[in-house]
Chain A
Amino acid sequence: MTLPDFELLRPTSLEEALAALERCGPDAQVIAGGTDLIPSMKQRLFTPRVLVDLKRLRELDYICSEEDGGLGIGALTKISALAESPVVVERFPVLHEAAKTVASPLLRNLGTLGGNLCLDTRCLYYNQSEFWRASLGYCLKKDGTRCHVAPGGQFCWAAFSGDTAPALLALDARVQLAGPRGARELSLAEFYVNDGVVRVAKAPGELVTGIRIPAASAGWCGVYKKYRIRQSIDYPLAGVAAVMRKTTDGTCLEARVALTGVNPAPKLVNAAVLLRGRRYDATLAEEVAHEAIRTGKPLRTSASTPEYRRHILRVFVRRAIEQVWRNGH
């Protein structure tokens, strides 16, 4: 399959990249690893007139421990680098676990953190060739007016399917953006928009430059559980990140649980607050799991069935909580 025509710009600095984006306006799109964008362009899901290649922005490729104990990670950090980073392994294990499940080793060598965070939402009726989509009459998310997942609705349910976002959401990370009007920071909860078309609260011309994980999240126990049919390459059909800070006797001081693959945005499970101040309690873990399936709303956007993905979400949330509660540091 061919790629559409475009002009390729290869800026060497953030400043240059932002200027290019501003100059080209909505016709421009950025490319880093290309693992999401290139297949989508082959399918004509995107046909930008200009592609701004961020590969030479070496300044955005870093994993940097900050003085206060927090961690900064540049948007152009390869997922493989993230997965292998000793500081991530040691102090933010949930991010390590999530990063090492992203796609496959080959794709992790190309894919970047920024790309994984900005991953387009996915749907079986959307991630298809131009021919396929045309034969169906297109869909709400792209070129059409009907949603085939929830017919009659005017809302796009395409699912956010990144693995690192739920981990970072659970770690209370903030995303750093740079744009024509300067730099700003958003919490990940603010960054993601639960709408398959809108996806992220990124202004025109803005770029994700990195994320910052606060010192307060360092050293928490964490696990990431991913449901997929093939144990490599696949996107999550449902994913759960759970983190917990505990006292030495195992009392939960604080816990967060986040979901992916089941909504247009990665989501925190509010019920995780129930765990605070409690010692290990299997029924409580089950209770949070039960609440989690009110947050996670899988639909027919991917393989497997919504019913099963809801089931596995509940099992995975419970298991993840049990694991962080009973094991680890």
Chain B
Amino acid sequence: MSATSPIGARVPMIDSVDKVTGRGKYTDDLTLPGTLVGKILHSPHAHARILSIDTTAAERLPGVKAVATGKDTPVKYGILPIGHDETIFAVDKVRYIGDNVAAVAADTAEIAEGALGLIKVDYEVLPAHLDPERSMQAESDFIHEDKPHNIEKEYHHHFGDVEVGFAKADYVRDDRFDCAEVTHAALEPHSTLANFDPDGSLTVWSSTQVPYYLMKTLAATLEMPEEKVRVIKPLIGGGFGGKSEVIPLELAAAVLARRAGAPVKITYSREEVAYAHRGRPRTIVELKTGVKRDGRLTAVEARIIQDGGAYCSYGVVTILYSGQLLNAMYDIPNVMFDGYRVLTNKPACGAMRGHGTVNARFAFETQLDMIAAVLGIDPAEIRRRNLLKAPCRTINGLRVLSYGYPECLERVIERSEWRAKRRKLPFGKGIGMAGSHYVSGAANPIIRSLMPHTTVELTLGRDGAVTLYTGAAEIGQGSDTVQVQIAAAELGVDWKQVKLVAADTARTPIDLGSYSSRVTFMAGNATLDAARQARERLLAAAGLALGAESENLVWKDGVFARRNNPRPSIPFAEACRLACGAEESLKFAGTYSPPPEAQGGKYRGAGVGPSPAYSYSAQVAEVTVDVETGQVTVERIIAAHDCGKAINPLTVEGQVEGSVWMGLGQAVQEEMVWEKGRLMNPGLLEYRTASTLESPPIEPILVESNDPEGPFGAKEAGEGSLAATLPAVVNAIYDAVGVWITSLPVTPEKVLRALEEEKRRTSL
């Protein structure tokens, strides 16, 4: 590495100039000559059988170029191999208000909208299942015929012996937590442009976090060979998981393009984004925890119900994460988990930042404070007493190597003046703490195969040009920049010298996508692998020219030279030319697959949760509660995040701040409000993501535990901080006014009700 290594440098994102000048293109900014506008007809019923669809009038409308319905596209798909329960358009039934029934491509948006109104659909309305706890008791009219009692999946895990654990406990408590459904609300509505070439090959530009899975699903549902499908990911206006699987418009646009023989673009309205959803499910957590008098955990038992909506989506993974990641944070000797992913007649829930862990973590960290309060232990101390002794393997088989959580705790304790403030602030003001963690990518792929999780190609041109080809999907988190930094560091060149070609399935190697915080760790390692190979080749070429073994060479100040004799020397470009020999350029393929030791246990469901590395976060929130109105003002949040190594502190801090802020939104003001299966707030006016005014200052602290397997020690940064924010705020409210809020979001009304109950209780 040269003296000015880009590792640890605050490098501006390589696409930032495009973003600040408006030159960068997002999918909806693209158009091809003759592009038609696609619009989708949605179901007005939560649950109904389709008796007939008549599209004749729509087809006859001048300007309409194609109409498609479910009979044209019956192939089932889904992001999980065990969850192929969606079709592009409903075939027999519609399962939620907003479900996809048909689509039209027309010359203009006005004509397409007009044509939708001419499609006649006869429905037989069926009873709708809307509440998860009731839905799982249903005896008839199941949402999917092959899912009795509307249970998508249930898991029952038992590690150790909780009965023994509870028997050993000095104190056991049982609480019920209820977290409302929330959604990603990325600012860019989903958009897809699809075009068929005369040779029958398809190109799709789409706002996707998973170009590779989209390519595969397009091929499967349109019944085409995969090599005829090309997916290109332009700039993405935020994903957060909402674009981490195939979204109906992506397939609908392709179907329409094929039928119309012309390019078709579909861009969702904000309301359609809400129906596409795939957000965080409403989650009911019944949590029982036992501790010794000193706060040492003896057993944890969790019963978790997720209201998954009408399709599987990532649901099986979501419910498993909620149970599996009860572990790997603290040392818990006995754990039982009963998880139910339940179907209801609402839009499908899926993966959202902090996938599966957030609501369970909220429950756990809140209950830990409840326990600490009863036992008279400082919340910081009860966490210290239950730390893992890493490196270790948890009781459910998760391997933990680097563990910066203890340092995270100490750093936030210090920065927040915890000891001076806790229980010492005036009534109405409070301080609270919590922790969270997350995977650095899943150790097991969604589709089982022996293929590496990611491959990155690096080419050296004979003129010294360095180009990275990566399938990883930059979605605003800075992953392209991190890969450039890693390659530059390993080759000892300026990061500006590295060009990057990304996320085009025809030109870039396979990467599984941007989800479960896998890119820095996995694509980063693959980049490092490719760059190492390139470096070795350059050293060998330089060594040959200098008459020295490569281990006796140094690469410094932009030149290769013998260790003891700086002259003669060979500049980088010259080394490239020498290495290329008779070739125009050299190509190096780096790969990454998680080691078998990181892949978890063998029991049913063991595949979800294992990761090569876990990130850790500790946070302190300060709040003010207006006891008369119940309004909570979050004054400040300090978040220490163990990211292993901050390859780019600028973007890591941005990810930590963004995660904390998104968690805060879920904690205090975001909520999808349902009434009889109808979403009452399908727009950004009524789904209230925070403005600048109620967003508190967020102070990130980066902790570097140097993971032994991460690239330069790096691990996850983009999701792990989210979950701690919710309990930190709720715990601060307790410190402020002495009540526990166990239902999210914390509305002023819930605070008032809790205060009234507390008053009644203490006056008895």
Contact = CB atoms under 8 A, between A and B. Distances in A.
Note whether A and B contact each other (Cβ less than 8 A). yes
Interface of A: 1-2, 5, 104, 124, 128-129, 131-132, 134-136, 229-234, 303-305, 307-308, 311-312, 315
10 nearest interchain CB pairs? A135-B44, A231-B693, A232-B691, A308-B749, A230-B688, A231-B694, A2-B109, A232-B693, A229-B688, A2-B110
A315 to B, nearest CB: 5
Given A104-B691, A230-B694, A231-B693, 4 more contacts: A2-B113, A229-B669, A231-B691, A232-B691
A124 B629 contact: no
A2 B686 CA distance: 20
A134 B44 contact: yes
Q: By DSSP majority rule, is chain B's interface helix, strand, loop, or mixed?
A: loop
Interface string B612-630: 0000000000000000111
Contacts of B97: 135
30 contacts: A1-B269, A2-B109, A2-B113, A104-B691, A124-B681, A124-B686, A129-B271, A132-B271, A132-B682, A135-B44, A229-B669, A230-B688, A230-B690, A230-B691, A230-B694, A231-B691, A231-B693, A232-B691, A232-B693, A233-B691, A303-B673, A303-B686, A304-B749, A307-B749, A308-B747, A308-B748, A308-B752, A311-B629, A312-B748, A315-B628
B271 A135 contact: no
Contacts of A308: 630, 747-749, 752
Nearest to B692: A232
A104 B693 CA distance: 11
Nearest to A148: B675
B685 A233 contact: yes
B164 interface: no
Given A230-B691, A232-B691, A132 B747 contact: no
Nearest to A124: B680
A129 B113 CA distance: 13
B45 interface: yes
B734 to A, nearest CB: 21
Given A232-B691, A234-B688, A312 B44 contact: no
B42 interface: yes
A185 to B, nearest CB: 34
Nearest to B114: A2
A206 B747 CA distance: 43
Nearest to A230: B688
B678 interface: yes
A129 B747 contact: no
Contacts of A5: 110
A135 B121 CA distance: 13
Contacts of A134: 44
B99 to A, nearest CB: 11
Contacts of B688: 229-230, 234, 303
* Residue among A2, A124, A131 having the largest count of chain B Cβ atoms under 10 Å: A131
Contacts of A312: 629, 748
B669 A315 contact: no
Nearest to A307: B749
A136 B46 CA distance: 11
Given A230-B690, A308-B748, A308-B749, A131 B678 contact: no
A312 B269 CA distance: 34
Interface of B: 42, 44-45, 97, 109-110, 113, 269, 271, 628-630, 669, 673, 678, 680-682, 685-686, 688-694, 747-749, 752
A312 B45 CA distance: 36
B752 A311 contact: yes
A260 B269 CA distance: 31
A124 B113 CA distance: 24
A131 B752 contact: no
A102 to B, nearest CB: 14
Contacts of A129: 269, 271, 682
A17 B692 CA distance: 40
A128 B686 CA distance: 10
Contacts of A136: 678
Contacts of A104: 691
Contacts of B693: 230-232
Contacts of B681: 124, 303
A104 B271 CA distance: 22
Contacts of A233: 685, 691
A86 B678 CA distance: 47
Nearest to B690: A230
A303 B749 CA distance: 12
Contacts of B752: 308, 311
A232 B685 CA distance: 10
Nearest to A129: B271
B44 A131 contact: yes
Contact of B678 (A135, A230, A232, A315): A135
A206 to B, nearest CB: 29
Nearest to B117: A130
A307 B685 CA distance: 22
A233 B684 CA distance: 10
A173 B72 CA distance: 63
A35 to B, nearest CB: 12
Nearest to B44: A135
A132 B686 CA distance: 14
A131 B42 contact: yes
Contacts of A232: 691-693
A132 B269 contact: no
A233 B692 CA distance: 11
A274 B630 CA distance: 28
B678 A132 contact: yes
A135 B690 contact: no
Contacts of B692: 232
A282 to B, nearest CB: 13
Contacts of B669: 229-230
A303 B672 CA distance: 11
A305 B269 CA distance: 28
A2 to B, nearest CB: 5
A300 to B, nearest CB: 9
A104 B629 CA distance: 24
A110 to B, nearest CB: 15
A230 B683 CA distance: 14
Contacts of B44: 131, 134-135
Contacts of B691: 104, 230-233
B525 to A, nearest CB: 41
B629 A315 contact: yes
A308 B747 CA distance: 10
A157 B576 CA distance: 76
A135 B748 CA distance: 32
Contacts of B673: 303
Nearest to B41: A131
B749 A305 contact: yes
Nearest to A302: B686
A1 B273 CA distance: 13
Nearest to A5: B110
Contacts of B628: 315
Contacts of A315: 628-629
A81 B402 CA distance: 57
A315 B630 CA distance: 11
Contacts of B689: 230
Contacts of B680: 124
Contacts of A1: 269
Nearest to A309: B749
A129 B686 CA distance: 13
A231 B752 CA distance: 20
B290 to A, nearest CB: 37
A304 B109 contact: no
A117 to B, nearest CB: 20
Contacts of B685: 233-234
A304 B752 CA distance: 13
Contacts of B747: 304, 308
B248 to A, nearest CB: 15
A116 to B, nearest CB: 16
A176 to B, nearest CB: 31
A309 to B, nearest CB: 9
A293 B44 CA distance: 38
